[in-house]
């Protein structure tokens, strides 16, 4: 306040500064963990973003040495859920299925290779270090992790299961039909 008058200009400046700082901090917070996609290599642009983080961690030696704690939480969770102890994972490769591509995947250490030419898809278990090389091929459109199967089935809790079993026991037994011999048959 200046004298008895309230300083609206000072309040407006302070409020504007607070808004600008807030927007700047939100913008920094909202940045992707692996930089802007425009800075990705052509092979990384074909890969799922989780695979980009995983392959970068592998190149830095963070997967084999068990130094996952230095990685973003999403990459840690993805590696824990999808990477086998031998540093391989199942990937889905969208491309024209050719013997040349299949041979290349196997040469890179790929196993369990399944081809689906109708869907232009190959699934394979490959080393994490080979994912970038596979994505770098001109005939490959995308490389991503496998999708986990889900069902819409409702799983009963132990309490619900016990109550259901008790209800079944309370029902009267269902009579079994008697077998009837037909004339002319033994």
**Alpha-carbon distance 122 to 103, whole Å?**
12
Task: Return the pLDDT at 154.
Answer: 84
Q: 55-75, pLDDT tens digit by residue?
A: 888 887 777 656 667 777 888
Helix (H, G, I), strand (E, B) or coil at 127: strand
Task: Return the pLDDT at 113.
Answer: 94
Section 17-39 average pLDDT: 57
Hey, how many other C-beta atoms are within 10 angstroms of the C-beta on 170? 7
Mean pLDDT of the chain: 80
pLDDT at 30 over 50: no
Helix (H, G, I), strand (E, B) or coil at 9: helix
pTM beyond cutoff 0.85: no
pLDDT at 28 over 50: no
Confidence of residue 50 (pLDDT cuts 50, 70, 90): confident
pLDDT at 87 over 50: yes
The string of DSSP letters for 132-174 reads HHHHTSTTEEEEEEPPPP---PPPPPHHHHHHHHHHHHHSPPP
pLDDT at 135 over 70: yes
Domains along the sequence of the chain with CATH: 43-145 (3.30.70)
Section 14-40 average pLDDT: 59
Task: Return the pLDDT at 10.
Answer: 66
């Amino acid at each position: 306040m200046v004298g008895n008058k309230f300083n609206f200009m000072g309040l407006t400046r302070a409020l504007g500064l607070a808004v600008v700082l807030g927007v700047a901090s939100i913008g920094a917070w909202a940045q992707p963990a692996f930089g802007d996609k425009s800075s990705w290599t052509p092979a990384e642009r074909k890969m799922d973003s989780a695979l980009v983080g995983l392959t970068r961690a592998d190149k830095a030696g963070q997967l084999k040495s068990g130094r996952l704690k230095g990685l973003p939480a999403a990459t840690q969770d993805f590696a824990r859920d999808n990477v086998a102890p031998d540093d391989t994972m199942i990937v889905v490769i969208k491309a024209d299925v050719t013997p040349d591509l299949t041979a290349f995947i196997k040469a890179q250490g790929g196993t369990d290779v399944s081809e689906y030419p109708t869907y232009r898809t190959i699934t394979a278990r490959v080393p994490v270090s080979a994912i970038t090389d596979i994505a770098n091929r001109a005939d490959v459109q995308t490389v991503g992790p496998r999708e986990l199967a889900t069902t819409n089935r409702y799983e009963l809790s132990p309490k619900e299961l016990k109550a259901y079993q008790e209800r079944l026991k309370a029902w009267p037994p269902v009579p079994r039909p008697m077998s009837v011999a037909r004339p002319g048959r033994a």
